[in-house]
Amino acid sequence: MAALDALRVFHQRRIAVPVDDDALVLDVGSGDKPSWRADVLLDRYTGAEHAAQRSGRAAARVSRPLFDADAADMPFRDGAFDYAICSNLLEHVADPVAVAAELTRVARAGYIEVPEAASAKIVDFPSHVWWCRLEEGDGSPTLVLTAKQAPFFDAEIQDYIDRAGVRDELDAVLNRRFEHRVIQYHWTGSVDLRTEGELDPDFYDRAMRAPGHQRGWEAVAVQALTAAWTWRTRQRRRDQRIPFDRVVKAEHARPGEMLERRIYRLDGPQKGS
């Protein structure tokens, strides 16, 4: 039963992208494990020197057109995408409100995933700078991100976990009910998000240089399972070509050019449509 539950959660998080074959999908903060359904990728930290911000291999994976750009200031046209995926990024960024605003500017709907605060306060990573929770109210739920003041919730407990060498065991126990470790936030039209507190600049700089959480064999297993589960859709879409000017702002126009599987770094102003 536990294995079936794990597969169900995996399908919800990584496979079930609610779009048809013609939809254009963006993955923001794609890192080393971009969504199988993404047509275009965006990641600010593509090199191996930013391995701390990823959970698999060191460098970002360039399996589709990848724009090296700030998620809070994307180089894309308004409404360029039908759907935007933003998984395990907001807990790393300095201005999640700005990123959410850009997501809703460039896409009509999407999916946000962040680590849930209560679980993260037991086992978290020093590269995360926000505690994330979902606040239920009378209307739609609100993502609430509270600025962390230190790498871990309780330094004394963290010291015990390190001395006792039980971090991996705790991580494994929490992963048995992974649906409680993450917040899965689906949005259409707008994202309800607010932040609490302010990030200390020195703490943020240290977090950007903090050790990562590498998962070698797990990343390989996830890729293999995803490839098998999504084969039919990928086969149907394998010959798709995307005009550069369909997605990128007018000031960066390249008439007649098609997007290619490489990294794009665009110069010039990025604000506006």
Q: What is the 3-state secondary structure (H, E, C) of 54-120?
A: CCCCCCCCCCCCEECCCCCCCCECCCCECEEEEECCCCCCCCHHHHHHHHHHHECEEEEEEECHHHH
pLDDT of residue 49: 57
pLDDT of residue 215: 61
pLDDT of residue 272: 38
Residue 143: strand pairing partners: 134, 193
pLDDT of residue 104: 98
Residue 193: strand pairing partners: 143
Cα–Cα distance, 114 to 2 (Å, whole number): 23
**Cα 136 to the center of its chain, rounded Å:** 22
Cα–Cα distance, 229 to 17 (Å, whole number): 12
Q: Are 71 and 29 in contact (CB under 8 A)?
A: yes
The residue extents of the domains of the chain are: 2-264
User: What angle separates helix 167-175 from helix 155-164, to the nearest 10 degrees?
Assistant: 100
Ordered per-residue pLDDT tens for the chain, 273 residues: 567 778 888 889 999 999 999 999 999 999 888 999 999 999 997 766 555 554 545 567 899 999 999 999 999 999 999 999 999 999 999 999 999 999 999 999 999 999 999 999 999 989 999 999 999 977 789 999 999 999 999 999 999 999 999 999 999 999 889 899 999 999 999 999 999 999 999 999 999 888 766 565 566 777 888 989 999 999 999 889 999 999 999 999 999 999 999 999 996 444 433
- CATH class of the domain defined by 2-264: alpha beta
Q: What does the angle CA 18 – CA 10 – CA 115 come to, to the nearest 5 degrees? A: 95
Q: Tell whether the torsion through CA atoms of 167, 9, 143 and 102 is positive or negative.
A: positive
